[in-house]
């Protein structure tokens, strides 16, 4: 592969775009990464070896896919844009360990896909340069899919990266922070300048590495826990008590149940949701469930 000019080479990237009459589709959040140092950094952050199965989301013209293919045992890339799928069949032609699948990551059954492409119960590494407008839904899809993963390395908008690592009491801290903390630990791996892309996005970017973890308190229905968290943040500036009333009802019987749950959890009704840590929310969820309030 020594004589192959990298797809991410700015001149080759532009040549590919020109050859296929391509332009970044704003509605799909497309920006093509042309900085090889960043691409190599992503592969290094994911600790890809020649024994690894890699699931890539949003390969674009194949700039990152190519680097993954050189390091991994097999790469399966999910691409939603049919025009890009046609381009990838050309740009990735030298690599026989890559398979491109035209599909939407938000609609595909990831467990079935991984079993079919890598083998039953296979563990994967997930790497993605995500469209910024849909970063959060894709992250949640990956985390909630119950797939076996070693790490997830994602390029995202810097603002979203800050939310993943936010501390209680800050404006960035919220539903996304807490939901992610149930499944994984987030680490900011690198910051990425807008000039690293063609075209340059209007926002700063960052690469984040997620490592799986077991939460301090495991619940059998985490989606219900997340529902409690979401309801608690429904009006950020309001107290937890007011948001609970908004979520569960304001009749006397419900108020009594909420009061009992808060007392059982040892949480002040006057506190705001942004002050509570995941373990406290989990305790609150269990107390609300004991009162028959969670759905």
The DSSP letter of residue 192 is E
pLDDT at 117: 98
Token couple for 292: 């028959």
Return the CATH number of the domain spanning residue range 222-290.
1.10.8.100
Which CATH architecture fits 10-212?
3-Layer(aba) Sandwich (3.40)
Please report which confidence band the pLDDT of residue 168 belongs to, taking 50, 70 and 90 as the band edges: very high
Q: Is 129 annotated as a binding residue?
A: yes
In this predicted model, what pLDDT tens digit does every residue of 201-224 receive, in sequence order?
A: 888 899 999 999 998 899 999 999
Sign of CA dihedral 169, 174, 179, 185: negative
Token couple for 284: 């609150």
Q: Is 81 annotated as a binding residue?
A: no
Tell me the sheet residues that pair with 76.
55, 99
Q: In terms of Cα–Cα distance, which of 55, 48, 49, 51 is closest to 117?
A: 55
Q: Are 93 and 126 in contact (CB under 8 A)?
A: no
Report the Cα 256 to chain-centroid distance in Å.
38
Cα distance between residue 97 and residue 50, in whole Å: 11
Q: Is 31 annotated as a binding residue?
A: yes
Burial of 140 (0-12, 13-18, 19+ CB in 10 A): middle
The residue extents of the domains of the chain are 10-212, 222-290
Q: Is 79 annotated as a binding residue?
A: yes
Cα distance between residue 239 and residue 262, in whole Å: 13
Q: Is 50 annotated as a binding residue?
A: no
pTM: 0.91
Over 60: is that where the pLDDT of 1 sits? no
Q: Cα dist. 172→76, 150, 154, 206, 274 in Å?
A: 33, 27, 19, 16, 9
Over 70: is that where the pLDDT of 3 sits? no
10-212 and 222-290 have identical folds: no
Q: Is 33 annotated as a binding residue?
A: yes
């Amino acid at each position: 592969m020594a004589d192959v000019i990298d797809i991410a080479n700015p001149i080759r990237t532009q040549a590919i775009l020109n050859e296929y009459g391509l332009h970044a589709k704003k509605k799909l959040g497309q920006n093509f990464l042309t900085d090889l140092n960043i691409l190599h950094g992503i592969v290094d952050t994911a600790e890809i070896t020649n024994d690894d199965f890699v699931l890539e989301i949003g390969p674009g013209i194949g700039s990152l896919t190519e680097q993954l293919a050189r390091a991994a045992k097999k790469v399966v890339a999910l691409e939603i844009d049919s025009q890009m799928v046609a381009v990838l069949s050309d740009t990735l032609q030298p690599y026989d360990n890559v398979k491109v699948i035209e599909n939407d990551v938000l609609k595909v059954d990831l467990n079935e896909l991984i079993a079919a492409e890598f083998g039953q119960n296979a563990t994967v590494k997930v790497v993605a340069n995500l469209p910024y407008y849909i970063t959060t839904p894709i992250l949640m899809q990956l985390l909630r899919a119950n797939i076996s993963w070693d790490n997830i390395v994602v390029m995202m908008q810097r603002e979203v990266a800050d939310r993943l690592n936010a501390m209680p009491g800050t404006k960035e801290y919220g539903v996304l922070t807490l939901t992610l903390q149930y499944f994984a630990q987030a680490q900011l791996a690198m910051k990425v300048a807008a000039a690293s892309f063609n075209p340059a996005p209007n926002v700063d970017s960052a690469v984040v590495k997620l490592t799986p973890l077991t939460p301090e308190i495991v619940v059998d229905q985490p989606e219900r826990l997340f529902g409690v968290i979401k309801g608690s943040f429904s009006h950020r500036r309001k107290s937890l008590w007011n948001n609970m009333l908004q979520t569960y009802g304001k009749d006397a019987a419900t108020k009594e149940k909420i009061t009992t749950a808060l007392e059982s959890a040892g949480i002040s009704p006057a506190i705001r949701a942004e002050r509570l840590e995941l373990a406290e929310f989990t305790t609150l969820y269990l107390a609300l469930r004991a009162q028959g309030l969670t759905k």
